[in-house]
């Protein structure tokens, strides 16, 4: 399955390009799902969308995830995250209704929506899923949370070995909520979030695409996004500069177009070798399949939108003699922004306001000597 995540500058046309990409992949005969974490896809497709896949055209479905939605066939039931929170509050003799307020907090809402994405990824009904995400800073927060969920799974909820007493304990508990049920429910949620992390970090099947506008302010945001995605190991395969004024826009727009082209060259030079794809401003607001098809043709220029457009360096642990080296590409970072913290079984890499914890392989944990070098845009941490 091919998974493509769209994010970028707010108002740059992220949802529209995501919809156009999904429509173009579907037009080639591949079963495609456009998955919205927000509400932008409905406007792009010019139709209402629900929380279950809705057919829009041949081989194309779309949905906009609802944070508290239940499973298929049970739309009125609470989703898995809210159901688990209610069980947790009930088990701890707390007001169960407060769980609904907690589930509505920013961040938790989107994590609940991601469980719907996991359901579609695991279902295997589609050959491609195009995910329309919020603005890039918000999206990086979510992707970082998936990394934390993957790391926390065995620390917070280690898998229990069943005992001969389990059937008796369950019989005594009856249908009432129990700590064991809460434990297993929490572990299941983290396991599902960890599964999304694994899928989105696989450079052979998933990638992130940024959508920007051609202005100097956008470059700094794009550079920071590239840095953070590299830190957390999410593959990035393209950047779009959207809504560029065309050459025939008229003499009144020459000065603005010259500024855009200068900014585009600057962005292209800075982000290379990552592809920077120029997308001209469309003659009218994009809405409906005909407009989306034209936009996709302009954006991809004949290339297959489902292809992996660029393969960057990957994070890796390598062994040389008695030493182990963690290689981590961190573009647009200065040495002063970097800090490294060693724990017993982990390494924390701090980059500005972001940090990521790397679990160390068992053979590395007993090595006491740690040194680091930052050459160009590559951090190498050596354990010996």
Residue 309 lies in a domain: no
How many Å apart are CA 370 and CA 375, to the nearest integer?
Answer: 17
- Kindly report the number of other CB atoms within 10 A of residue 183's CB atom: 16
363 is a domain residue: yes
* pLDDT at residue number 249: 76
265 & 331 share domain: no
Same domain, 211 and 336: no
Q: Are residues 204 and 230 in the same domain?
A: yes
Please indicate, yes or no, if residue 311 is contained in any of the structural domains. no
Terminal CA-CA length for the chain: 39
Structure tokens at 375: 């050459």
The per-residue pLDDT for 53 is 94
Which regions of the chain are under pLDDT 70? 67-78, 84, 91-92, 96, 98-99, 101-107, 153-179
- Based on the domain organization, do 195 and 63 belong to the same domain? yes
Evaluated on CA atoms 308, 310, 315, 319, the torsion sign reads positive
Question: Does residue 257 sit in the same domain as residue 373?
Answer: no
Task: Classify residue 310: in a domain, yes or no.
Answer: no
Q: Among 272, 300, 328, where does a domain finish?
A: 300
Of 276, 300, 324, the residue that ends a domain is: 300
Burial of 167 (0-12, 13-18, 19+ CB in 10 A): exposed
How many Å separate Cα 137 from the centre of its chain? 11
Residue 236 contacts residue 210 (beta carbons within 8 Å)? yes
pTM here is 0.86
The 3-class SS string of the chain reads CEEEEEEECCCCCHHHHHHHHHHHHHHCCCCEEEEECCCHHHHHHCCCCCCCCEEEECCEEEEECCCCCCCCCCCCCCCHHHHHHHHHHHHCCCCCCHHHHHHCCCCHHHHHHHHHHHHHHHHCCCCEEEEEEEEHHHHHHHHHHHHHHHHHHHHHCCCCCCCCCHHHHHHHHCCCCCHHHHHHHHHHHHHHHHHHHHHHCCCCCEEEEEEEECCHHHHHHHHHHHHHHHHCCCCEEEEEEEEECCHHHCHHHHHHHHHHHHHHHHHHHHHCCCCEEEEECCCCCCCCHHHHHHHHHHHHCCCCCCCCCCCCCCCEEEEECCEEEEEEECCCCCHHHEEEEECCCEEEEEECCEEEEEECCHHHHCCCCEEEEEECCEEEEEEC
Predicted pLDDT of residue 72: 45
Domain shared by 92 and 178, yes or no: yes
Strand partners, 268: none
Domain range for 38 is 2-300
Pair of tokens at residue 44 = 């792009």
Q: Which two tokens stand for residue 280?
A: 């001209």
Instruction: Confirm whether 305 is domain-assigned.
Output: no
Please check whether residue 308 lies inside any domain of the structure.
Answer: no
Number of residues in the chain: 384
According to the model, what pLDDT value does residue 125 have? 94
Same domain, 289 and 326: no
| 275 bridge partner residues | none
Tell me: do 205 and 320 sit in the same domain.
no
- Do 270 and 355 fall within a single domain? no
Q: Can you give the pLDDT at residue 155? A: 67
If asked whether residues 202 and 256 sit together in one domain, one would say yes
Nearest residue to 4 (alpha-carbon basis) of 243, 289, 299, 329 = 299
Number of domains in the chain: 2
């Amino acid at each position: 399955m091919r998974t493509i995540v769209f994010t970028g500058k707010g108002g740059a046309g992220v949802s529209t390009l995501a919809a156009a990409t999904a429509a173009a992949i579907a037009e080639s005969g591949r079963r495609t799902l456009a998955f919205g974490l927000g509400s932008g896809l409905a406007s792009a497709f010019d139709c209402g969308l629900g929380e279950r896949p809705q057919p829009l055209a041949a081989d194309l479905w779309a949905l906009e995830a609802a944070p508290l939605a239940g499973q298929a066939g049970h739309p009125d039931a609470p989703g898995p995250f809210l159901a688990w929170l209610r069980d947790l509050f009930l088990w701890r003799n707390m007001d169960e209704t407060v769980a609904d307020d907690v589930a509505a907090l920013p961040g938790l809402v989107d994590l609940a929506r991601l469980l719907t994405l996991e359901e579609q990824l695991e279902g295997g009904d589609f050959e491609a899923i195009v995910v329309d995400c919020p603005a890039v800073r918000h999206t990086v927060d979510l992707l970082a949370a998936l990394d934390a969920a993957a790391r926390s799974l065995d620390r917070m909820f280690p898998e229990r070995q069943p005992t001969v007493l389990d059937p008796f304990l369950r019989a005594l508990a009856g249908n009432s909520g129990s700590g064991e049920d809460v434990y297993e429910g929490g572990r299941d949620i983290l396991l599902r979030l960890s599964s999304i992390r694994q899928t989105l970090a696989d450079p052979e099947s998933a990638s992130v695409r940024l959508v920007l506008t051609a202005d100097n302010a956008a470059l700094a945001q794009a550079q920071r996004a590239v840095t953070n995605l590299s830190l957390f190991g999410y593959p990035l395969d393209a950047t779009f500069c959207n809504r560029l004024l065309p050459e025939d826009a008229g003499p009144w727009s020459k000065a603005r177009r010259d500024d855009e082209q200068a900014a585009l060259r600057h962005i292209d030079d800075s982000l290379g070798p990552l592809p920077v794809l120029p997308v001209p401003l469309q003659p009218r607001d994009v809405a409906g399949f005909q407009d989306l098809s034209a936009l996709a043709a302009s954006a991809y220029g004949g290339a297959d939108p489902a292809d992996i457009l660029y393969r960057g360096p990957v994070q890796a642990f390598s062994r040389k003699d008695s030493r182990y080296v963690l290689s981590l590409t961190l573009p647009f970072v200065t040495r002063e922004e970097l800090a490294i913290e060693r724990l017993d079984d982990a390494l924390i890499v701090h980059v500005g306001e972001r940090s990521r914890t790397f679990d160390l392989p068992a053979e590395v944990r007993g090595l006491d000597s740690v040194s680091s070098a930052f050459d160009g845009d590559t951090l190498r941490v050596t354990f010996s």
